[in-house]
Structure 1
Amino acid sequence: MTIFSVTVANPLIDGRQSENAMLVRRGVQTLLHDMRLAVLPELQLASGRRADLVSLSDKGEIWIIEIKSSIEDFRVDKKWPDYRQHCDRLFFATHREVPLEIFPQDCGLILSDGYGAHMVREAPLHRLAPATRKSVTLQFSRTAAQRLMLAEWAAAKTPLIE
């Protein structure tokens, strides 16, 4: 059984994400890349939750971006407040068909069209405790390194871990 494949069964796109959510994700990733932030999708946090996007700045600031593809998606989600304990800034990201006024004012807001994104509202800064910052940064780093290795193996058609 293949753990990771960049071409066939990518666990970062597990079928739970709608087409709109994937477009939002791509646009936000482009924005974060342009801002010189490292970004990982679907990062497992210490709480067991999985953040849609986590970014890391060159100064170690951690952002979590929660993607919402519809009003219903936002309405039924009760887990997003838990993300605050794992980041310095919490953002929502969406597309133009979702009314922006539904999102809390105490979170940042990003509007994406799939090709890029625009920061509508900056997120307030809530500095993480040093131990939490270290834990999230290590999880980010280890996950990124593991994904890179597995993608390299898949691209080289080297036998993968089964």
Structure 2
Amino acid sequence: MEPITQILQPGQLLARGAARHLLSHGFVSVEELVPERGLRVDLMALGPKGEIWIVECKSSRADFMSDGKWEGYLPWCDRYFWAVDAAFPTDLLPEGTGLMIADAYDAEILRFGEETQLAPARRKKLTQKIATHAARRLQILRDPDAGRFG
């Protein structure tokens, strides 16, 4: 087992596999992005044509049942997906949403959710937020003390 898979939580492992799969479709992604105050998505992905997808990772039935905020994420993406493992009871997941079966290494898209087009201003705001978030994480990775400067 890879050392990283020993320290990540189950939902983080699902996010890792989903992000890897999205890369094969030309998407880049960031984990735990806050599109607006009070919301934190597990994975926000930016596609090659500027499309924005949100992937929520659920590691168990209890994890899903305790999530009351997922519908608040819908106005912040063009498509919405759940990423769950192969043992998850997928009949719990709402119709009209996308579904990925994932593990720590990859994922497979079983269904695409309904597509809704973001307003151009919101798309621009989210694209800038994704870029800023990713650049900040990279900078802190290279220079752990950079966080205290901003």
Regarding TM over 0.5, the answer is yes
Q: Report 1 or 2 for greater relative contact order, CA contacts < 8 Å, sequence distance ≥ 6.
A: 1
Indicate whether 1:101 and 2:130 are aligned.
no
**How far 1:150 sits from its partner (Å)?**
1.3
In 1, Cα distance between equivalents of 2:71 and 2:38 = 14
Considering fraction of residues, name the structure with more helix: 2
How many residues are treated as equivalent by the alignment? 142
Aligned letter for 2:66?
Answer: V
Task: Structure 1: give runs of 5+ residues left out of the alignment.
Answer: 1-14
> Who is 2:42 aligned against?
52
Q: Deviations over 1:19-78 (max 9, x none)?
A: 321221121111011111011001111243111000001211000001111111111111
Indicate whether 1:91 and 2:81 are aligned.
yes
Q: Residues 149, 70 of structure 1: CA spacing in aligned structure 2 closer, same or farther, 3 A cutoff?
A: same
Contact 2:80–2:98 (Cα < 8 Å) also in 1: yes
State the superposition RMSD in angstroms: 1.6
Indicate whether 1:140 and 2:137 are aligned.
no
Indicate whether 1:36 and 2:31 are aligned.
no
> Who is 1:8 aligned against?
none
> Who is 1:71 aligned against?
61
Aligned letter for 2:69?
Answer: K
- TM-score, normalised by the number of residues in structure 1: 0.82
Secondary structure of the corresponding residue to residue 151 of structure 1: helix
- TM-score, normalised by the number of residues in structure 2: 0.88
Secondary structure of the corresponding residue to residue 30 of structure 2: strand
Contact 2:19–2:28 (Cα < 8 Å) also in 1: no
Secondary structure of the corresponding residue to residue 75 of structure 2: helix
In 2, Cα distance between equivalents of 1:107 and 1:119 = 11
Identity of aligned residues (%): 36
In 1, Cα distance between equivalents of 2:36 and 2:129 = 9
In 2, Cα distance between equivalents of 1:136 and 1:92 = 20
Secondary structure of the corresponding residue to residue 55 of structure 2: strand
In 2, Cα distance between equivalents of 1:160 and 1:140 = 19
Secondary structure of the corresponding residue to residue 148 of structure 1: helix
Aligned letter for 2:101?
Answer: L
